[in-house]
Amino acid sequence: MTKFSELNLNPKVLKAVEEAGYETPTPIQAGAIPPALEGRDVLGIAQTGTGKTASFTLPMITMLARGRARARMPRSLVLCPTRELAAQVAENFDTYAKHVKLTKALLIGGVSFKEQDQLIDKGVDVLIATPGRLLDHFERGKLLLTGVQIMVVDEADRMLDMGFIPDIERIFSLTPFTRQTLFFSATMAPEIERITNTFLSNPARIEVARQATASETIEQGVVLFKSSRRDREASEKRKLLRMLIDAEGDKCTNAIIFCNRKVDVDIVAKSLKKYGYDAAPIHGDLDQSQRTRTLDGFRAGELRFLVASDVAARGLDVPAVSHVFNFDVPSHAEDYVHRIGRTGRAGREGKALMICVPRDERNLDDIEKLVQKEIPRLDNPLNSAPASAAAPEPKAEPAAEEKRPSRSRSRSRSEKPTEKPETEKPQTETAAAEPAREEKPRRERRDRSGGRGSDNKVVGLGDHMPEFIALSFDERRAG
Ligand code: AMP
């Protein structure tokens, strides 16, 4: 087995690696570091969790330790698809370059241009950026890319998903063609293949085992769930999620809950909070300071449930995540592997549970083909719940429930002293009445019940009730 000391890394880098507690290089590190140090282009086909970040940061620091930065001309460039990933790469540089004098700047949205400009003006060895923000700086005339000797593209397949490939091509064309390129992608889609053929020169290709085959420490399960009524699917699914969380008890120390859509990230986070679970959302539409705060809280163990979209959670390295809940079946099978890879890291045990509604069964098939095994089917706890818990949620006036602050304390998670203040409010409702607070899309409710309580139904019109009948008297008068 290769040792770090055999890789020709700068002794100061080796020292930092030792201090980080790493004993042996991971396969992507053992494969990528030697050609990178020889100045060759590298094509790394590796996912997050394989140690790929160090596979480019360690040789970069070794190479950059010689020479000095010039004003406005960064010597190296690392492109990442998301701000979080960029921040994580920056942290890696801090860790491994702590005994070497290197300057770096992080160019990501949500951070003021002024501060970033000042750093660039002074000259930086490493510029870590998301593509859009980098081009913004370039277009403002504050940045020259002609001094870039090493360029890294991290998570290229995610860049493709996010529509960044034209930006990447443009950035490639702004850097000198003599640059060294280190290019990483979890998969090789045809478009990625085309980019690598165009911009990499005779790269050393290192492919490491997919996480799908490596994640033996993750226990998986899926609940096939069919709602009692289509218009109740969303709220029943949220109830099912709560039951799955509760069933894990104290084993669930923290969890990432994935939703396919940003809007559901918000709804699920809000709903969990309302039921007394310590949850917060993270997705691309939230402002940067909020995203950073949420993530820091989750990393520090102060936040228990992170409700996330794929993009926001991609590549995040939180070493001890006990559970992943897939509130939705991801529509790309690859995403399932990324999602569940957030747990069971570094040889720890992890558990990944998923809810699958009938229309997602095809996606479930695709996932099972990809991971080459059947994901065990779990009983739907909603079916075996006592009548009171499994009964349809009583309805409430939507306007009232959306404005009402969280009051619920009676669920199992809510008694902990770490809960947010709003869950500490005096409990005024019984557990059985709580589901009335579950949010539902307003229209959905109105269509069915005329925006009134369920006792006050308009009957005899079948499904074709004219919309105006559903309006309240005041709304009709106003409209
Ligand atoms: P990455 O794939 O870069 O996101 O890294 C995944 C995790 O592996 C991070 O927590 C790293 O700190 C850790 N790691 C990186 N290299 C090694 C190594 N050689 N030995 C043990 N852990 C490592």
Is residue 295 situated within a structural domain? yes
Q: Measuring from atom 15 of ligand 1, which residue has the nearest CA? A: 51
Say if residues 208 and 50 touch (Cβ distance below 8 Å).
yes
Residues 280, 414: one domain?
no
Atom number in ligand 1 closest to CA 345: 7
Strands 305-308 and 150-153: unpaired
Looking at residue 386, what is its pLDDT?
A: 57
**SS percent in the chain: helix, strand, coil, step 5:** 45, 15, 40
**Burial of residue 232, with CB atoms counted within 10 A of its CB: 0-12 exposed, 13-18 middle, 19 or more buried:** middle
Q: Which of 26, 50, 58, 299 to mutate to test the pocket of ligand 1 (most atoms within 8 A of CB)?
A: 26
Atom number in ligand 1 closest to CA 29: 19
Is residue 137 situated within a structural domain? yes
CB 26 near ligand 1, within 6 Å: yes
Is residue 212 situated within a structural domain? no
Residues 223, 164: one domain?
no
Looking at residue 409, what is its pLDDT?
A: 32
- Whether pLDDT at 135 is above 60: yes
Looking at residue 418, what is its pLDDT?
A: 31
CB 319 near ligand 1, within 6 Å: yes
Look at 8-12, 57-61, 153-157, 449-453 and tell me which has the smallest mean pLDDT. 449-453
Q: Measuring from atom 8 of ligand 1, which residue has the nearest CA? A: 51
Looking at residue 479, what is its pLDDT?
A: 38
Is residue 353 situated within a structural domain? yes
Bridge partners of residue 447, in order along the sequence: none
Is residue 320 situated within a structural domain? yes
Looking at residue 411, what is its pLDDT?
A: 36
What is the arithmetic mean of pLDDT over 172-184? 97
Residues 60, 117: one domain?
yes
Tally of residues, the chain: 479
Is residue 213 situated within a structural domain? no
Residues 200, 290: one domain?
no
Inter-CA distances, 374 with 60, 317, 367, Å: 41, 27, 9
Is residue 465 situated within a structural domain? yes
Q: What is the pLDDT of residues 338-393, one digit of tens each?
A: 888 888 766 677 899 999 999 999 999 999 988 888 999 999 888 876 544 444 44
- Whether pLDDT at 429 is above 70: no
Among 207, 230, 248, residue at a domain's last position: 207
Atom number in ligand 1 closest to CA 319: 10
- Whether pLDDT at 84 is above 80: yes
Q: Which domain holds residue 397?
A: 387-420
Residues 228, 196: one domain?
no
Annotate 100-120 with b (16+ C-beta within 10 A) or e (fewer): bebbbbbbbeebeeeebbebb
Residues 319, 244: one domain?
yes
- Whether pLDDT at 462 is above 80: no
Tell how far the Cα of 51 is from the centroid of ligand 1, in angstroms: 4
Among 420, 445, 468, residue at a domain's last position: 420
Strand ranges for 10-82 from DSSP E: 42-45, 76-79
Residues 103, 150: one domain?
yes
Among 161, 186, 207, residue at a domain's last position: 207
What is the arithmetic mean of pLDDT over 65-92? 92
Residues 18, 164: one domain?
yes
Which candidate, 97, 400, 138, 178, places its Cα nearest to that of 129? Answer: 138
CB 74 near ligand 1, within 6 Å: no
Looking at residue 34, what is its pLDDT?
A: 97
Residues 309, 406: one domain?
no
Bridge partners of residue 326, in order along the sequence: 258, 354
Mean pLDDT of the chain: 80
Tell how far the Cα of 123 is from the centroid of ligand 1, in angstroms: 29
Atom number in ligand 1 closest to CA 92: 12
Q: Measuring from atom 16 of ligand 1, which residue has the nearest CA? A: 51
383 vs 170, more confident: 170
- Rounded Cα–Cα distance for residues 277 and 412 (Å): 9
What's the pTM value of the predicted model, to 2 decimals?
0.60
CB 22 near ligand 1, within 6 Å: yes
Q: The domain that contains 233 carries what CATH number?
A: 3.40.50.300
What is the arithmetic mean of pLDDT over 85-95? 93
**Burial of residue 478, with CB atoms counted within 10 A of its CB: 0-12 exposed, 13-18 middle, 19 or more buried:** exposed
Residues 246, 146: one domain?
no
Looking at residue 215, what is its pLDDT?
A: 60
Atom number in ligand 1 closest to CA 4: 19
CB 2 near ligand 1, within 6 Å: no
Is residue 393 situated within a structural domain? yes
Tell how far the Cα of 32 is from the centroid of ligand 1, in angstroms: 14
Tell how far the Cα of 217 is from the centroid of ligand 1, in angstroms: 17
CB 25 near ligand 1, within 6 Å: yes
CB 55 near ligand 1, within 6 Å: no
- Whether pLDDT at 44 is above 50: yes
Question: Which residue type, as a one-letter code, is found at position 370?
Answer: L
Residues 305, 184: one domain?
no
CB 317 near ligand 1, within 6 Å: yes
How many percent of the chain have pLDDT more than 90? 54
Residues 396, 376: one domain?
no
Domain count, the chain: 4
CB 113 near ligand 1, within 6 Å: no
